[in-house]
Structure 1
Amino acid sequence: MAIEILIVDDSAVMRSMIKKTINLCEIEVERIHEAGNGREGLDIIENQSVDLVFIDVNMPVMDGMEMLNKVRQSPKNADLPILIVSTESNDHRIKVIDQHNAEFVHKPFTPEILREKILEVLGVKI
């Protein structure tokens, strides 16, 4: 089953690194959408079919935590698999991410860690 992925990060370099890492994960991907901030990411979610979302925390216009809140407020996206990818890993933020039914991946990450998290949020048994 090929999936559609959205990567939301204000750094084009980081979006490229995440895409390359996804390709190393041997996961069948139909399309990867990209957004430079949470507002752009929400627009894509509203207008495209997306199966998995990667969200950075610190971004201009709308940060990742605000985007996560808005996504979860939408009944149609309440269960959308989301991975928060950030260099920040304070316990409070991770607890809030968990309460919003999302997973946290600390930057930098390995392809193995990213693959494991992707499969976990998609509900695929390893």
Structure 2
Amino acid sequence: MARERDAAVADALDEAARVLVRLAARLRAVHDGPRAADRVAAPPPAAPAPETPARQRRRQPLGERQQAVLALGGLATETGLAAGDVAQALGYTAPNATNILKRLEELSYLSRVPGERPLRWRRREVSG
């Protein structure tokens, strides 16, 4: 009886976590609009730095699912997260999570943790 109750509570907490991550992603998307307008109104920098391909890619807007993945705290750790971890946390399928992680890697948001199997990703350090 207690085991079933604990399992039900754990399931409810998992679902609540997924809902909160989605809500956080939507709130970020809503508030990106005013920040973008502020950046447009600001005077241009005196001498803009040349853009690297990684910087150009990062200017692309992120989708809701990409934002939800980036909101996961486990990506900020040294060991990062595997696609299965992301899929379980957000209710995605493992192949979809893998595709999102690979795309975020291409966009220079994430990097693979070397020597890990299954593959794991973590936040990439941003410089400049």
- Shorter-chain-normalised TM-score: which range? under 0.3
Question: Normalised by the size of structure 2, how large is the TM-score?
Answer: 0.27
Question: Normalised by the size of structure 1, how large is the TM-score?
Answer: 0.27
More helix by share: 2
